[in-house]
A and B are shown apart, each in its own frame.
Chain A
């Protein structure tokens, strides 16, 4: 990344101050010092404590080895939350990413794309409590959604208290994040040079062929980041789920955050610690794998 010219300059800079070279090397770190101290106090040290606690009992503070991990892996609520969260992610993230790609490709070609893009971005600004009010009126068993369905002769149901709740949540997630992902895809599209398309058109390639042979391969690097960001935003869907359905929603939308909240209220810190370490480990592996794929995708 750094040219040899820069290294040379750095060597020149370092040369006269050999006597206190070590202190000078760290001088740049002063800029991140205030931030890093905060990160240390509020995130890193307490996380280390959590990691320690995951191997100790909650009450007697005795070393219990992996017992907490065994306990959560056998816990039905934990299994339910993991199952729901994984299912939710596997359905939502690919759907969102592909739908946003389709929208972005169409919007990118038009000069009115900006207006529609704004419409898609608007849900980002709507606070979850306001969303919750609308959702409660829309998806009630006698609500507006069922009213619309009744026009098509379809039977209404109590959406938030049944299997439908999961799909409402999927819809909320896509509704909330579509604009975000469209912006990301459009940024990727703007990175593709017009010249390539021109050349392909001269060679007689149709629009569909251009899309498959030029657009898609060139968007590959964007795919990894968009996937990671969409994946992380999927955890925020808890907000709507919680505000509409409370602490104990229909079991179809019982997510990891519900579980953590309920353990927190019960002071099951041992379980929380083990689950936090486990989940962060899984996330870390996923992110690093994606990062690796991302790096190789760029080269």
Chain B
């Protein structure tokens, strides 16, 4: 048996290729672990007690000598810091709530106007459609810094600065989800719609009863991408919100200048991460489809 296997074992060249492949996998696995390390670090730190954190991170936090070091898992796991964040810091709740309002406000709005626009671009004809679409595409590709002043000017005119609506409304009319959903609606066969039209279905019925159910994965993909984007929104709230009570979690940078606060900082950061993690774990397939929708040319 063993000899048979050895006989079939091909030339030296292939064996070397085999070693090369193993090395390649080793590198990939190492890269993957490196990608995950900050996540481990954050979660693990959030369960560490004050003394443990002080011992490991004292060098950074309170300026003692030597270097910080950090084990993979806490020696004495505790939920203390989570309790502190939830019970002792009412400000945290307010920020959490602001994040929820911004994220769900934007997503709900996109669900209404974005899906309709995507449907229009994918399944209807009208003059200058290509021009409109190009405009949407360009807007999708412009970074915030380019649109920052124009955003401010319009919010100022509508007196929406220092107002959560000033973050939500421009987000609703972001053209990115329109593009993602367009790619999915596009795949729906025209013949299906034609036959429904012949049966006397109205246009809005086609949208609600055929388009939305069949294109639902596109809608979800856009929502998953949108959630990750708006849950960690930085530039807009930083620019347009001055009042602290309106700040979302995404711009709350916890203080780590003392050991007792660093525990809360870990817990607060972990809590900020959890909703995004859940959306990521639950929607990874959609997330990947959404990412791909940005690339595959029809």
Task: Please state if A188 and B295 are interface contacts (CB–CB under 8 Å).
Answer: yes
Q: Which residue of the partner chain A has the closest CB to B148?
A: A260
Q: Does B149 interact with chain A (Cβ within 8 Å)? A: yes
Q: State A256–B148 Cα separation when bound (angstroms).
A: 12
Residues of A within 8 A of B151 (CB): 42, 46
Residues of A within 8 A of B60 (CB): 136-137, 140, 142-143
Residues of A within 8 A of B288 (CB): 121, 183
Q: Name the interface residues of B231-286: CB closer than 8 Å to any CB of A.
A: 231-232, 234-235, 238-239, 249-254, 256, 265-266, 269-270, 272-273, 276-277, 279-280, 284
Task: Please state if B280 and A125 are interface contacts (CB–CB under 8 Å).
Answer: yes
| Minimum CB–CB distance for A53 against chain B, Å | 8
Task: Please state if B38 and A125 are interface contacts (CB–CB under 8 Å).
Answer: no
Q: Does B73 interact with chain A (Cβ within 8 Å)? A: no
Q: Does A152 interact with chain B (Cβ within 8 Å)? A: no
Q: State A150–B67 Cα separation when bound (angstroms).
A: 9
Task: Please state if A42 and B273 are interface contacts (CB–CB under 8 Å).
Answer: no
Residues of A within 8 A of B120 (CB): 28-32
Residues of B within 8 A of A132 (CB): 253
Task: Please state if B175 and A39 are interface contacts (CB–CB under 8 Å).
Answer: yes
Q: Does A179 interact with chain B (Cβ within 8 Å)? A: yes
Q: Does B119 interact with chain A (Cβ within 8 Å)? A: yes
Q: Which of B57, B126, B143, B175 contacts A26 (CB 8 A)?
A: B126
Task: Please state if A31 and B116 are interface contacts (CB–CB under 8 Å).
Answer: yes
Task: Please state if B35 and A179 are interface contacts (CB–CB under 8 Å).
Answer: yes
Residues of B within 8 A of A280 (CB): 142, 146
Q: Does A131 interact with chain B (Cβ within 8 Å)? A: yes
**Chain B contact residues: helix, strand, loop or mixed:** helix
Chain B positions 119 through 154: 1 when the CB is less than 8 Å from some CB of chain A, otherwise 0 = 111001111010010011011011111111111111
Interface size on A, residues (CB 8 A): 95
Q: Which residue of the partner chain B has the closest CB to A240?
A: B234
**On chain B, which size bracket covers the interface?**
35 or more
Residues of A within 8 A of B3 (CB): none
Task: Please state if A144 and B69 are interface contacts (CB–CB under 8 Å).
Answer: yes
Q: Name the interface residues of B8-48: CB closer than 8 Å to any CB of A.
A: 17, 24-25, 28-29, 31-36, 38-39, 41-42
Q: State A153–B227 Cα separation when bound (angstroms).
A: 43
Q: Does B291 interact with chain A (Cβ within 8 Å)? A: yes
Chain A positions 148 through 181: 1 when the CB is less than 8 Å from some CB of chain B, otherwise 0 = 0010000010000000000000000001001110
**Contact A127-B276, Cβ < 8 Å, known A39-B175, A142-B66, A183-B292:** yes
Residues of B within 8 A of A136 (CB): 60, 256
Task: Please state if A25 and B269 are interface contacts (CB–CB under 8 Å).
Answer: no
Q: Which of B35, B169, B228, B251 contacts A129 (CB 8 A)?
A: B251
Task: Please state if B153 and A49 are interface contacts (CB–CB under 8 Å).
Answer: yes
Task: Please state if B154 and A46 are interface contacts (CB–CB under 8 Å).
Answer: yes
Task: Please state if B269 and A129 are interface contacts (CB–CB under 8 Å).
Answer: yes
Binding-face segment, A59-67, A72-80, A219-227: A219-227
Task: Please state if B31 and A120 are interface contacts (CB–CB under 8 Å).
Answer: yes
Q: Which of B38, B67, B139, B252 contacts A142 (CB 8 A)?
A: B67
Residues of A within 8 A of B272 (CB): 127, 129-130
Q: Which of B59, B125, B235, B294 contacts A28 (CB 8 A)?
A: B125
Q: Does B94 interact with chain A (Cβ within 8 Å)? A: no
Q: Does A116 interact with chain B (Cβ within 8 Å)? A: yes
Binding-face segment, A90-98, A194-202, A210-218, A271-279: A271-279
With a 10 A CB-CB cut-off, give which of B169, B173, B228, B276 has the most chain A CB atoms: B173
Task: Please state if A276 and B146 are interface contacts (CB–CB under 8 Å).
Answer: yes
| Minimum CB–CB distance for A25 against chain B, Å | 6
Residues of A within 8 A of B269 (CB): 127, 129-130, 133-134
Q: State A28–B231 Cα separation when bound (angstroms).
A: 34
| Minimum CB–CB distance for B196 against chain A, Å | 15
Residues of A within 8 A of B25 (CB): 106
Chain A positions 261 through 299: 1 when the CB is less than 8 Å from some CB of chain B, otherwise 0 = 100100001001100100110011001000000100010
Q: Does A71 interact with chain B (Cβ within 8 Å)? A: no
Chain B residues with CB under 8 Å of chain A are 17, 24-25, 28-29, 31-36, 38-39, 41-42, 57, 59-60, 63, 66-70, 112-114, 116-117, 119-121, 124-127, 129, 132, 135-136, 138-139, 141-154, 169-170, 172-173, 175, 178, 207, 228, 231-232, 234-235, 238-239, 249-254, 256, 265-266, 269-270, 272-273, 276-277, 279-280, 284, 287-288, 291-292, 294-297
* Additional 7 contacts, C-beta under 8 A, given A137-B57, A138-B41: A28-B125, A119-B32, A133-B253, A187-B292, A188-B295, A238-B234, A283-B143
A-B contact pairs, 30 of them (CB 8 A): A27-B124, A28-B126, A31-B116, A35-B116, A35-B178, A38-B173, A42-B151, A49-B150, A50-B149, A50-B153, A53-B149, A106-B28, A119-B33, A122-B280, A123-B39, A124-B228, A127-B269, A129-B269, A137-B57, A137-B60, A140-B59, A140-B68, A147-B69, A175-B35, A191-B296, A225-B295, A226-B295, A272-B149, A276-B147, A276-B149
Q: Which 4 A-B pairs have the closest CB atoms?
A: A31-B120, A28-B124, A38-B173, A35-B117
